[in-house]
Amino acid sequence: MSKLNIGIAGVGGRMGVMILKDILGRDTTMVTSGLVRTGSNLVGTDLGTLASIEPIGVAMTDNPKACFADADVVVDFSLPEAIEELAEAAVDQKKPWVVGTTGLSGKEEAILRAASEKIPVVFASNMSLGVNLLFALVEQVARSLDDNFDIEILDFHHKHKVDAPSGTALTLGEAAAMGRGIDFKNSATLSREGVVGVRTKGEIGFSALRGGAVVGEHAVMFASTGERLELHHKASDRSIYAAGAVTAGLWVRDKSPGMYSMKDVLGIKS
């Protein structure tokens, strides 16, 4: 199979640079475009410079349609406010789109779903193999344990992360709710403050910690009166997310329109 030409939306960010280096380090992939925000001082700069290597002859752009036009697949770790413009470009160019951007609003998620009716979209709050296995395990445990086991979810990230709870934590909560057969929005308590009263049976609680340079840690606790089961995942290097995103790009290259997850990419059965 020929090399996959990948574009990167949000290439100027920390994850964008990690994805760039992952693509350049593989024999099966090439980077053919890099998108930065409008007016960025990186526009026109060679992507090789960003990766701290020799120029590769590909300059960064702030034009979404150009980014998609030059690529077979675009991997997106930009910002939620860019989703609408990127969706328009993806559909216009009829290119697969891998989205790892977190903190999306209901409207922005709806834009993704609408785009997936016309192009293949892989959307995941976290693209690491271990975390996606954790999603499946949480769903299975929640299905096996009744609501005498309270569910609490903890996420811990670096001080620069802007959304809380994290997208990964929310997806863990959704997995738990699916396992229990309950509605996530009606059972989730995203934060607690003041006199909150007795814990509601069936509640899925969240706590978010932010500080230092923590890449990402998540824990799901199932606590009953006499015992507690804890499932943990700790990331020590962002390269796991970049590797997962590029793997998703390779997988989605020949797929039909639809909304896919990393469970689909990795063949994980619920």
For 223-245, b where at least 16 C-beta lie within 10 A, e where not — what string? Answer: eeeeeeeebebebeebbbbbbbb
CB-side neighbour CA atoms (13 Å) of 177: 18
Supply the residues annotated as catalytic: 157, 161
- Are 103 and 163 contacting, i.e. CB atoms less than 8 angstroms apart? yes
Output the six-digit token pair for 258.
């639809």
- Are 164 and 210 contacting, i.e. CB atoms less than 8 angstroms apart? yes
Query: Using CA atoms, how far apart are residues 201 and 208, in angstroms rounded to an integer?
Result: 21
Count other Cβ atoms within 10 Å, centred on residue 260. 20
For 17-38, b where at least 16 C-beta lie within 10 A, e where not — what string? Answer: bbbbbbbeeeeebbbbbbbbbe
Query: Using CA atoms, how far apart are residues 25 and 32, in angstroms rounded to an integer?
Result: 14
